[in-house]
Amino acid sequence: MTYTTSDFDYDLPEDRIAQEPWPVRDACKMLVMDRATGALEDKIFRDIIDYIEPGDVLVANETRVMPARLLGHKHETGGEAEVFLLREHDAGGAPTNTSALWEVLVRPGKRLKPGARIDFTDKTDPQGRVALSAEIVDFTPGGKGERLARLSTDTHKTLDEALHAVGHTPLPPYIKHYAGDEEMYQTVYSKEETSAAAPTAGLHFTPELIERIKAKGAFWETVELQVGIDTFRIVDEEDPTTHKMHTETYTVPQGVVDAIDNAHARGNKVIAVGTTSTRSLESAWDEAADSLVARKNDHTSLFLFPGSTFHVIDGLITNFHVPRSTLMMLVSAFSSRDAIMAAYRHAIDNGYRMLSFGDAMFIH
């Protein structure tokens, strides 16, 4: 069947977009959907343990969100400017401790051309001294408004220290005025700061819930996918097959491959915690070998769309996604477009909170 991007659109009332997280991570709502029949159940997230059997494997993305949002001023005029870090640029020559080339988004975009410089002050310095500077070097080839920027510091021993002194954890643009604990936009199991956005399905887990899952005899495994800018973007093209996914770096350790192979050999399920874990595992599938293969810092631009085959996962824990996004297409691919649209209508009609800080969905 042929789909257009409009087929993955839905009416999302503004008051359904969650503006803050649940104070208790695993107390949010969870919509459970049978992907074969579309049957729905209304649950609480901590009820997920009831759907997990001894021997099942849960796979989560352990990436942590960088302090990627930098608020500063143009060096020449003092006007406000913003830089959003996407990824370190690997063609910029060897980075030093205090300087590196990054791919970034900038605001105001039209005025920050090559040669412009933005200064950022230390958040904790009462004198407002500049701790980091970004010089716009070039536009990224084939990008959608991205720039290459040289980040450097003269006041800190490392660029990482300077970034933490000036940067903020970035929230999606539809979260307007959240002023709470930024750690609530990190998963409790996050490790390396490599992502521009959180793998939000994992936000609902607590250390206690993870321990209960393990105590039941299930396995908790982690991969890493460095979440990039496509998380924030809708698909502009009406023909979604022409949409170009950004390349993201991912790692699937051999221990995860072994755990999954053993689970499937036993007849157990593999449950992905989030779409980024899904994309990591499905990207690691080797068609020629007909098997899952370990990957380390490999690259993927996998676009899972209705008609795609899922070789690895049997269940998916996820959030409710932005209309017209690649993530709407991914969850529709795992079930069906009609079943997902019906589930989203049910969620909106029944007071579910949507998007990154919102409630959860379990598709099995």
- Residue 51 pLDDT exceeds 90: yes
Q: 132 and 33 share a domain? A: no
What pLDDT is attached to residue 127?
85
Q: 43 and 99 share a domain? A: no
Q: 251 and 287 share a domain? A: yes
Computed over every residue of the chain, the mean pLDDT equals 94
- Residue 351 pLDDT exceeds 90: yes
* Local structure of residue 17 (DSSP, 8 states): B
**CATH number of the domain to which 211 belongs:** 3.40.1780.10
What pLDDT is attached to residue 303?
94
Domain boundary among 168, 191, 208: 168
Determine, yes or no, domain membership for 175. no
**CATH number of the domain to which 143 belongs:** 2.40.10.240
Which domain covers residue 343, as residue numbers? Answer: 5-65+181-363
Cβ burial, residue 348 (10 Å; 0-12/13-18/19+)? middle
For residues 24-33, give the mean pLDDT. 98
d(CA 103, CA 72): 17
Residue 140 — very low, low, confident or very high, per pLDDT cuts 50/70/90?
A: confident
Tens digit of pLDDT for each residue in 307-330? 999 999 999 999 999 999 999 999
- Residue 104 pLDDT exceeds 70: yes
What pLDDT is attached to residue 93?
61
Determine, yes or no, domain membership for 38. yes
What pLDDT is attached to residue 18?
98
Q: 59 and 75 share a domain? A: no
- Residue 232 pLDDT exceeds 90: no
Determine, yes or no, domain membership for 110. yes
Number of domains in the chain: 2
Residue 92 — very low, low, confident or very high, per pLDDT cuts 50/70/90?
A: low
Determine, yes or no, domain membership for 147. yes
d(CA 160, CA 263): 39
Percent of the chain's residues with pLDDT above 90? 84
Q: 79 and 106 share a domain? A: yes
287-317: burial string, b at 16+ Cβ within 10 Å, e else:
eeeeebeebeeeebebbbbbeeebebbbbbb
What pLDDT is attached to residue 228?
83
Q: Are 344 and 325 in contact (CB under 8 A)?
A: no
Q: 86 and 201 share a domain? A: no
Q: Are 16 and 353 in contact (CB under 8 A)?
A: yes
Q: 160 and 185 share a domain? A: no
Q: Where are the beta strands (DSSP E) in the chain?
A: 29-33, 40-44, 57-61, 64-65, 69-74, 80-88, 99-107, 117-121, 130-139, 147-152, 167-168, 193-195, 219-225, 248-252, 270-273, 285-286, 291-292, 295-300, 315-319, 360-363
Residue 88 — very low, low, confident or very high, per pLDDT cuts 50/70/90?
A: confident
d(CA 2, CA 41): 30
What pLDDT is attached to residue 215?
98
For residues 73-88, give the mean pLDDT. 92
Q: 267 and 331 share a domain? A: yes
Q: 122 and 50 share a domain? A: no
Residue 91 — very low, low, confident or very high, per pLDDT cuts 50/70/90?
A: low
Residue 246 — very low, low, confident or very high, per pLDDT cuts 50/70/90?
A: confident
* pTM of the model as a whole: 0.93
d(CA 259, CA 220): 9
